[in-house]
Structure 1
Amino acid sequence: MIKSNKISALIITYNEANHIEAVINNISFTDEIIVIDSFSTDGTFEKLLEFKNVTTIQREFKNFADQRNFALKQATHDWVLFIDADERITDKLKTEIISTIKNHNNTVAFMVKRLYFFKKKRIRFSGFQTDTTYRLFKNDNVKYIKDKIVHEMPEINGKSSMLKNPMLHFCFDSAPHYKEKMEHYASLKALELHKKNKNANMMHFVIRPIYKFITNYIFRLGFLDGKEGFQICYLSAYGVYYRYKELKRLNMSSKI
């Protein structure tokens, strides 16, 4: 039975042992916590079992949209708070979420700004200064677009708005960690393009990565983030290159 003004917190995880305890404690103000784990191998699942207030379901990962839609179906309350394991709700945002749900005035979805951190250093530029994402919804008014399998987008049935307070995003533990993330996202994006019969050419391998780096490092002021800014902008450009490398591989494989 769906209960008004109560919150179901949803997390999808894979190998998040370094973050899982902190994020569970961070969202303890919600009325239920449901984690969809993609058969983690680093002890994430075992740590989750220690929390009596958490429902953990192991499910094979197909793509982000599919996993999030499955998670939505598990929620039993009227409101859903989606959070990634490397994100944190500040005290001000927590207070705003609770107040917003009580006085939402027919708004069914809320976006939130994210403040990025590389290890413990705040990343203020490098393309992240305008990052926002949907995180709070009325459950019956949202589903994720199936064709957007990476950088997934919710389809909102109703009015949406922006929360005033940001959340924290500890997205990068190290440069190798960010590189691994970029390759994972790039592989999914390549699959999405492959399904649309897109092809890769020399422009994709050379011009687009260079354009990505220049845009983030120069025009979006990544150089002001110091050496971390250079690493992030370089790896973001590498992710573009890797995307089309994977697309080319997929296209060639389908012709065999």
Structure 2
Amino acid sequence: MPLIDDITPLLITYDEIQNIERTLAKLAWARRIVVIDSGSTDGTLEVLARTPGVEVHHRTFDSFAGQCNFGLEAVTTDWVLSMDADYELSDALVAELCALRPTEGQAGFRARFVYCIHGRPLRGSLYPPRTVLYRVAGARYENEGHGHRLRRDGTVTDLKAPIYHDDRKPLARWLRSQLGYAAREAAHLLSASRASLSRADRIRLMGWPAPMLVFLYVLIAKGALLDGPAGWFYAFQRLLAEVLLALELLDRRLAGRPSRSG
């Protein structure tokens, strides 16, 4: 059996009407798509219902790891393709999936991302590569800060073609999400041992340097300055995200100090 016939895409959704049709269009090759939805009311469920092969499971959101682990239990193939609802597989990646012939010891494959702002690809971003295609047996997600991380043993290699990250939900939705992300990330940074944190996270833990450093890094090192309005938009997004995290860290530190009496 070709590997692509033994892959089940797994999507996590919540009010993704601006993205879901583009994501599903690049998964037309899949015999079955498992979706874990946490209460969409914007038309996402209607789009999913009319898409062949889609199987929707409903679960109240508690964490990304919880949603993903719940979804893995519904996957019956040996391999799963872990997708966010704002991912679009490139045509080159679909072709690469068709040609994949993993060895017995191959546990998974890692993909890089091209970040897009309203369909405009950026030269670079802070979005890291992640293991998106892997064997289901032994796979487990754990929460880490505002995100989640896949835990599994075995060899993971890089795919050549990219995935497009193109979230077109309204800016107000992004802002609301960032407030929650900042709270979870601050809790993680403050509770983790300093030795376990990366250099970047230790700078973020300090609070004040990170926003401007990230802004300049995105503009200059990642080339956003050359991407026109879309690049500036992304740079300001990352600046604001770091400002919210710095404020959350400062707020928690101040709340934990004794106040002046009298």
Cα distance between partner residues in 1 of 2:134 and 2:245:
31
Q: Which amino acid aligns with 1:117?
A: C
What SS is found at the alignment partner of 1:75?
A: coil
Cα distance between partner residues in 1 of 2:229 and 2:189:
32
User: Percent same amino acid among aligned pairs?
Assistant: 26
Superposition deviation, residue 78 in structure 1? 0.4
Q: Which amino acid aligns with 1:246?
A: E
Residue of structure 2 equivalent to 1:187: 183
What SS is found at the alignment partner of 2:73?
A: helix
Residue of structure 2 equivalent to 1:108: 107
Cα distance between partner residues in 2 of 1:133 and 1:6:
20
Structure 2's unaligned 5+ residue stretches are 195-203, 258-262
Query: What TM-score, normalized to structure 2?
Result: 0.81
1:165 aligns with 2:166: no
Deviates more, 1:119-128 or 1:175-184: 175-184
Residue of structure 1 equivalent to 2:134: 137
Structure 1's unaligned 5+ residue stretches are none
Superposition deviation, residue 142 in structure 1? 2.0
Q: Which amino acid aligns with 2:136?
A: N
Superposition deviation, residue 228 in structure 1? 2.0
Cα distance between partner residues in 2 of 1:45 and 1:251:
42
Cα distance between partner residues in 1 of 2:145 and 2:42:
24
Alpha carbons of structure 1 residues 196 and 232: separation in structure 2 relative to 1, 3 Å: same
Alpha carbons of structure 1 residues 60 and 246: separation in structure 2 relative to 1, 3 Å: farther
Cα distance between partner residues in 1 of 2:104 and 2:253:
49
Deviates more, 1:79-88 or 1:230-239: 230-239
Cα distance between partner residues in 1 of 2:7 and 2:205:
46
Residue of structure 1 equivalent to 2:41: 41
1:209 aligns with 2:175: no
The answer to whether the 8 A contact 1:119-1:174 is kept is no
Superposition deviation, residue 246 in structure 1? 3.1
Superposition deviation, residue 16 in structure 1? 0.2
Report how many residues are paired.
Answer: 249
C-alpha RMSD of matched pairs (Å): 3.1
Residue of structure 1 equivalent to 2:119: 120
The answer to whether the 8 A contact 1:126-1:223 is kept is no
Residue of structure 2 equivalent to 1:218: 220
Cα distance between partner residues in 1 of 2:62 and 2:207:
26
Superposition deviation, residue 195 in structure 1? 4.9
The answer to whether the 8 A contact 1:35-1:56 is kept is yes
| 1:30-109 equivalence runs, <5 A | 30-100=30-100, 102-109=101-108
Cα distance between partner residues in 1 of 2:41 and 2:58:
12
Q: Which amino acid aligns with 2:223?
A: L
The answer to whether the 8 A contact 1:118-1:174 is kept is no
What SS is found at the alignment partner of 1:218?
A: helix
The answer to whether the 8 A contact 1:108-1:141 is kept is no
Cα distance between partner residues in 2 of 1:175 and 1:158:
39
Query: What TM-score, normalized to structure 1?
Result: 0.83
Deviates more, 1:176-185 or 1:246-255: 246-255
Which deviations, in whole Å up to 9, do the C-alpha atoms of 1:12-44 show, x marking residues without a partner? 011101222332232121232110111123121
Q: Which amino acid aligns with 2:189?
A: L
Which deviations, in whole Å up to 9, do the C-alpha atoms of 1:226-247 show, x marking residues without a partner? 2222221122121112123334
Cα distance between partner residues in 1 of 2:70 and 2:256:
29
Cα distance between partner residues in 2 of 1:95 and 1:104:
18
